[in-house]
Amino acid sequence: MDLAKTVILTGDRPTGPLHLGHYTGALANRVRLQSQCRTYVLIADLQALTDNSDRPEIVSQAVWEVLLDNLAVGLDPEQVTFVLQSGVPELAELTQLYLNLVTLAKLQRNPTVKEEMREKGYGANVPAGFLCYPVSQAADITGFKADLVPVGEDQLPVVEQTREIVRRFNSIYGETLVMSEAMMPAVGARLPGTDGRAKMGASLANAINLSDPPGVVREKVMSMYTDPTRKRATDPGHVEGNPVFAYLDAFDPDQDRVSDLKAAYRAGRVGDVAVKEHLAEVLVDFLEPIRERRTWRERRRDELRDILFSGTAQGRQVVARTLEKALAAVGLPAVADKQAASISEVV
Ligand code: TRP
């Protein structure tokens, strides 16, 4: 694959601050790929609203937090185009076209959606918009003609749904949409929560946020889950399944030291507190430049607005072209464009 011509689309649901799990699962890949590929980052506010319709202020605030987090980890607005989903109404029209190509039964069987519905306790009262978010995400992905979609494992069924829609659309209406592929993060990219659960999540209250100040990071680390079988520092400890070591694997720049610590922990020669103190330092050091860039950006609100507004305008042009092609492929008379042109002549 010619990376320079490869289009990448990733997206975040703005529902709160991004955390270390987002970093290992998605952001690190974005930073790495930004100089090689054409990268769009979609801030999916309409998708975030599908399960927050009664709390829109959460979404509108988180839009700026998520943009700041992305810039803070080192995404360069000169290279990456940031797009606000609600600023591209053409995505909604693409969604409308695609909704006819999936069945209700299929959406209900989507493992990701199913799991999220279970977590939220929706049952039969799932908002239709939420059930259909994979279709709107298919519009995101195809609208930008994305070749690659870097996502965590949990989003694979959503990308697979996109691929099915593309296959169906192209076979009914002729070759029109770009077939995209999911790109998985490296093995071990999924970070456990501070409570030892398999996933770090804002709603699970087990996350260390990229914007957490040092004091909060230390506090969260010192109260982390470790090895429940270990009563004293002299007991042999378990490294596997111990989130403290998972974090050291992911963030300690000195991996030799991590190996030594693991050996000492297994042998019962180092206590939990000492390992945690070390991890707290590693994380505070890792987050320091991120915090600095964030503060720098926060002071430049006008530039922040410009980044999102100009990126959205640019993204909108791309999606509008895809929509035009899609409508033409379906064969609907292209009245809307001509009408818009004649209206602008009148007013
Ligand atoms: N569903 C994704 C998530 O939960 C967010 C998202 C929206 C997305 N649109 C996208 C991801 C397009 C990749 C491509 O994180």
Q: What is the mean pLDDT of residues 295-322?
A: 97
Q: What would the pLDDT profile of 64-74 be if each residue is shown by its tens digit?
A: 999 999 999 99
- At the top level of CATH, the class of 212-297 is mainly alpha
Handedness of CA 182, 186, 188, 193 (dihedral sign): negative
Q: What is the mean pLDDT of residues 86-109?
A: 98
Q: What would the pLDDT profile of 141-166 be if each residue is shown by its tens digit?
A: 999 999 999 988 889 999 999 999 99
> Residue 263: what pLDDT?
97
> Residue 154: what pLDDT?
85
Pick the more confident residue, 85 or 234: 85
> Residue 277: what pLDDT?
97
Confidence band of 338 (pLDDT split at 50, 70, 90): low
15 lines ligand 1 (CB under 6 A): no
The CB-side HSE value for 230 (13 A sphere, CA atoms) comes to 21
Ligand 1 probe mutation, 29, 42, 66, most atoms within 8 A of CB: 42
Instruction: Report d(CA 242, CA 94) in Å as an integer.
Output: 45
Instruction: Report d(CA 113, CA 107) in Å as an integer.
Output: 8
pLDDT at 280 > cutoff 90: yes
141 lines ligand 1 (CB under 6 A): yes
33 lines ligand 1 (CB under 6 A): no
- At the top level of CATH, the class of 3-190+301-346 is alpha beta
Q: Are 264 and 270 in contact (CB under 8 A)?
A: yes
> Residue 133: what pLDDT?
98
> Residue 120: what pLDDT?
92
% of the chain residues with pLDDT over 90: 85
Residue 258: closest CA among 242, 269, 270, 245: 245
149 lines ligand 1 (CB under 6 A): yes
Span from the CA of 143 to the centroid of ligand 1 (angstroms): 13
The CB-side HSE value for 135 (13 A sphere, CA atoms) comes to 24
75 lines ligand 1 (CB under 6 A): no
pLDDT at 333 > cutoff 80: no
Confidence band of 340 (pLDDT split at 50, 70, 90): low
Of ligand 1's listed atoms, the one at least distance from the Cα of 26 is 15
70 lines ligand 1 (CB under 6 A): no
Span from the CA of 155 to the centroid of ligand 1 (angstroms): 8
Ligand 1 probe mutation, 15, 46, 47, 131, most atoms within 8 A of CB: 47
Q: Please give the C-alpha separations between residue 165 and each of 124, 138, 176, in angstroms, as whole numbers.
A: 25, 7, 12
Of ligand 1's listed atoms, the one at least distance from the Cα of 158 is 1
Of ligand 1's listed atoms, the one at least distance from the Cα of 44 is 7
pLDDT at 295 > cutoff 80: yes
For CATH 1.10.240.10, list the domain ranges present in the chain: 212-297
11 lines ligand 1 (CB under 6 A): yes
Q: What would the pLDDT profile of 2-27 be if each residue is shown by its tens digit?
A: 778 899 999 999 999 999 999 998 89
Residue 12: closest CA among 151, 174, 220, 218: 151
For the chain, how many residues are written? 347
Q: Phi/psi of residue 232, each to 5°?
A: -125, 160
- Which residues does 104 contact at the CB level (< 8 Å), separation at least 6? 131
The overall average pLDDT reported for the chain is 94
pLDDT at 336 > cutoff 70: no
Span from the CA of 72 to the centroid of ligand 1 (angstroms): 20
Span from the CA of 12 to the centroid of ligand 1 (angstroms): 5
146 lines ligand 1 (CB under 6 A): no
Q: What would the pLDDT profile of 37-66 be if each residue is shown by its tens digit?
A: 999 999 999 999 999 999 999 999 999 999
Span from the CA of 137 to the centroid of ligand 1 (angstroms): 6
For CATH 3.40.50.620, list the domain ranges present in the chain: 3-190+301-346
Pick the more confident residue, 40 or 199: 40
Ligand 1 probe mutation, 147, 151, 180, most atoms within 8 A of CB: 151
